[in-house]
Amino acid sequence: MGKTFEQVDSRLAEWLVAQPIFFVATAPLAAAPLVNCSPKGNRQEFAVLGPHTVAYLDQTGSGVETIAHLGENGRIVVMFCAFSESPRIVRLHGEGRAVLKDSAEFESLKGHFPGASGVGVRSIILVTVRRIADSCGYGVPFMNFDDHRPTMDQWAQRKGVGGIREYWSEKNRRSIDDLEGFDVPQR
């Protein structure tokens, strides 16, 4: 059944980046916290940067929960599960932080992601992995993967850079828990 790993080795890294979807969960420390769990399409948007470091490309969303929760406490789990072939679930527990698109650090990381220059890209979420564990995945159904939806990219293209920044300013300054999201830098 399940086991833990000391690090993300090349075999595990290959499996992780091959999955078409992964899930990210975070939660604030507030007395009445709302746990956030978000599905992420993996169009070469997840990368293993080292044995204890992973990152993913964060697209603009209707909320800013992950960025807000990471800013408050850093706790994150990234979960992958196989919907085809052998059953498997892998969870990467760790501490994360958002590297915003306008930062110099983003520039140094974006080479890991072919789509990093996309209009809707908001940040790169960088995770220091503290615990790596898998489990059987016997309860995960078989599902066919057809393709990634083009809708997010189409929406971002229609908005353009200025429209996306305006959207961030309206929707991404505060989380649903009223935690600080991020301030949109002026360009």
Q: What is the pLDDT of residues 48-77, one digit of tens each?
A: 999 999 999 999 988 999 999 999 999 999
| Segments in the chain below pLDDT 70 | 1, 185-187
CA-based radius of gyration for the chain? 17
Q: Rounded to an integer, what distance in angstroms lies between the CA atom of residue 39 and that of residue 152?
A: 13
So what's the pLDDT on residue 166? 95
So what's the pLDDT on residue 186? 62
The label of the residue with tokens 């999201």 reads 181
For the chain, which domains are there? Answer: 3-140+148-171 (2.30.110.10)
So what's the pLDDT on residue 8? 98
Name the token pair of 166: 């305006």
Name the token pair of 51: 């044995």
Q: Rounded to an integer, what distance in angstroms lies between the CA atom of residue 80 and that of residue 74?
A: 20
Element (H, E) at 13: helix 10-18
Q: Rounded to an integer, what distance in angstroms lies between the CA atom of residue 27 and that of residue 142?
A: 29
Q: Kindly report the CA angle at 26 between 131 and 164, in degrees rounded to 5?
A: 125
For residue 117, which amino acid is it?
Answer: S
From the CB of residue 112, how many other CB atoms can be counted at a distance below 10 Å? 17
CA distances from 91 to 48, 147, 148, 177 (A): 14, 24, 22, 25
Q: Rounded to an integer, what distance in angstroms lies between the CA atom of residue 99 and that of residue 19?
A: 23
Q: Per DSSP, what are the bridge partners of residue 100?
A: 123
